[in-house]
Amino acid sequence: MPQPGAITPEIQDRMLEVGVDLSAHPQQRAGTYVHLNDRPLEARAEVDGLEVMDIKQALDRYEWLRDLYGTAVPRDRDEFTRAAEEELHGGYFIRALPGAQITVPVQACLYLLTEGMVQRVHNVIIAEEGSFLPIITGCTAHFGARRGMHIGISEFFVRRSATVKFIMIHAWNEEISVRPRSAAIVEGHGAFLSDYVCLERVRDVQMYPVARLVGEAATARYRSVVAAPAESNLDLGSGVRIEAPGGRAEILSRNVSTGGKIIARGRVEALAAGARGHLECRGLLMSEQGQIVAIPELTAAHPDVELSHEAAVGKIAEEEIHYLMARGLSRDAAIAAIVHGFLDLGIEGLPPVLQKRIDSLIALSDTEAMEGKQ
């Protein structure tokens, strides 16, 4: 078992699977943050206009941060937020200064190395006025660490006319429980764009990140691509609360079960004039053991709003498989093409290894058995 404190080649390989490439040239990432088990290892900005540091250090340095800290996700929100604050290990502080246009993503990795570890982190992300801040966060566990828990609090502050483009990739192990607690506050003309990918087996993930659009003409978009192999339990949702006029919300999710359970929630609350929101949830059930529950919620509290949702859960249509077979694809190749297409939400910047993950996922399905039952 590797000792905490050093990033071994094995750890680097695992990080690659969640989009964090420490071997890449520094010019390919704007900043780096690595957290191993209960301690931060690296925190560094590579470009001007960007700050990357451990949250404890940031709280020491900036008095104003102490007032901001805990305002998006209240510290006593639930047992997990309380547990994180009682014994905080660290977390990242990433800030784009006013007007800074960060062109390549900041890469951050929260790595659970040791079996039985309960990781507690608190991240704060600030995009100051007019800035553009892309971040990719990989959260993963070492292959040897079967059991464990990750509690991660994330607070996003998107100032006027700023944009945060955030990708989070999870790759855990079979006995790990994951409790992210995340919220964003978006000011006028700001945009919070969040993508989430989780394709590997995990014991359970429960999260419901929420964005509040507090300034006029702000935008929030949540997209998620998730798969639940047998014995995975995913209870995932995203919510947007449009509190100011002209806000836009979009929530899209693609969910595949090859035996596990997925609850796909989504909520748009429109409280101000001109608010627009769309929620789309699609599920593909590829095993008789699996289950997908779609729970979309729309709330309109102003007459001049437009909200819609679309939800569809089912298995792959045999007619589509046969059509592709008539073009010369084998049954397996046809299913693979359909599932790849289903999961492709057009999220840019994902590591190529995820495509292979999707293939191995499909290998776990039992659509043959399902067809036999027709």
Partner 1 sequence: MASQNPWMQKPARGEPQPSDDGLVVDSATLAVADRVVLRELSLHVPLGETHVIFGPNGAGKTTLLAGLMGMPHVKIVWGDIRWRGASLLGFDITERVRRGLAMAFQRPPAVSGITLRRLTELILSNNGNGNAGAPPPPEEVQQRIFTLAERLDVLDLLDRDVNAGFSGGETKRSEIFQVALQNPQLVLLDEPESGVDVVNMDRIGRMIRSLLQRDERPGNRTVTGLIITHSGYILNYVNADCGHVLADGRIICSGNARDVFEHIHEHGFEACAQCPPCQVAERLRRRRES
Beta carbon of residue 282, minimum distance to partner 1 (angstroms, whole number): 9
Tokens of 242: 């449009």
- Is residue 315 a contact point for partner 1 (CB under 8 A)? no
As measured in angstroms, the least distance from the Cβ of 325 to partner 1 is 4
Give yes or no for residue 322 binding partner 1 (CB under 8 A).
yes
67 makes contact with partner 1 (CB under 8 A): no
Q: How far is the CB of 358 from partner 1 (least distance, A)?
A: 12
Q: Beta strands of the chain (E only): which ranges?
A: 31-36, 39-45, 50-54, 92-96, 106-112, 118-127, 132-141, 147-158, 163-171, 175-186, 191-198, 204-207, 210-213, 219-229, 233-242, 248-258, 261-270, 275-285, 291-300, 305-314
- CA dist 336 and 357 (Å) reads 11
Residue 333 touching partner 1 (CB under 8 A): yes
Residue range at the interface with partner 1 (CB under 8 A); choices 56-64, 118-126, 140-148, 322-330:
322-330
Task: Indicate the SS3 state at residue 362.
Answer: helix
| 271 lies in the binding site for partner 1 (CB under 8 A) | no
Q: Which of 24, 317, 353, 363 binds partner 1 (CB under 8 A)?
A: 317
DSSP letters for 159-220: -TT-EEEEEEEEE--TEEEEEEEEEEEE-TT-EEEEEEEE-S--SEEEE--EEEE-STT-EE
Helix crossing, 353-363 with 331-343: angle to 10°? 130
Regarding 372 and contact with partner 1 (CB under 8 A), the answer is no
Place of tokens 């560094």: 44
Nearer to partner 1, 68 or 325 (CB): 325
Task: Report if residue 357 touches partner 1, rule: CB under 8 A.
Answer: no
- The CB-of-188 to partner 1 minimum distance in angstroms stands at 35
- Residue 212 Cβ, how far from partner 1 at the closest point, in Å? 32
Interacting span for partner 1 (CB under 8 A) from 157-165, 169-177, 206-214, 337-345: 337-345
Verify binding: residue 337, partner 1, rule CB under 8 A: yes
Instruction: Specify the stretch interacting with partner 1 by CB under 8 A; choose among 232-240, 272-280, 316-324, 355-363.
Output: 316-324
User: Taking CB under 8 A as the rule, does residue 313 contact partner 1?
Assistant: no
Q: Does 319 bind partner 1 (CB under 8 A)?
A: yes
Site size toward partner 1 (CB under 8 A) is: 22
Q: Is residue 323 close enough to count as binding partner 1 by CB under 8 A?
A: yes
Q: How far apart are CA 374 and CA 371, in angstroms?
A: 5
Distance from C-alpha of 27 to C-alpha of 11, rounded to nearest angstrom: 21
Residues 20 and 167: their CA atoms lie apart, in Å, by: 11
Nearer to partner 1, 251 or 343 (CB): 343
The terminus-to-terminus CA distance of the chain in angstroms comes to 48
Site for partner 1 in 98-127 (CB under 8 A): none
Neighbouring-strand partners of residue 50: 96
**Residue 359 in the binding site for partner 1 (CB under 8 A):** no
CB 196 within 8 A of CB 221: no
Q: Report the residue number, 211 or 347, with the smaller CB distance to partner 1.
A: 347
Stretch that binds partner 1, among 121-129, 147-155, 272-280, 315-323 (CB under 8 A): 315-323
Q: Which of 304, 306, 344, 359 binds partner 1 (CB under 8 A)?
A: 344
State the Cα–Cα distance between residues 336 and 343, nearest whole angstrom: 11
Q: Residue 361 interacts with partner 1 (CB under 8 A)?
A: no
Best CA proximity match to 15, nearest among 115, 135, 122, 141 = 141
Identity (one letter) of the amino acid at 295? I
The DSSP line for 305-349 is EEEEEEEEEEPPPHHHHHHHHTTT--HHHHHHHHHHHHH----TT
Angle at 134 between CA 223 and CA 248, to 5 degrees: 45
Among 66, 77, 340, 356, binds partner 1 (CB under 8 A): 340
Dist CA 218 CA 214 (whole Å)? 8
Task: Give the one residue of 230, 263, 324, 364 binding partner 1; rule: CB under 8 A.
Answer: 324
The verdict on 310 binding partner 1 (CB under 8 A) reads no
331 makes contact with partner 1 (CB under 8 A): yes
Nearer to partner 1, 330 or 360 (CB): 330
Contact positions toward partner 1, by CB under 8 A? 317-320, 322-331, 333, 337-338, 340-344
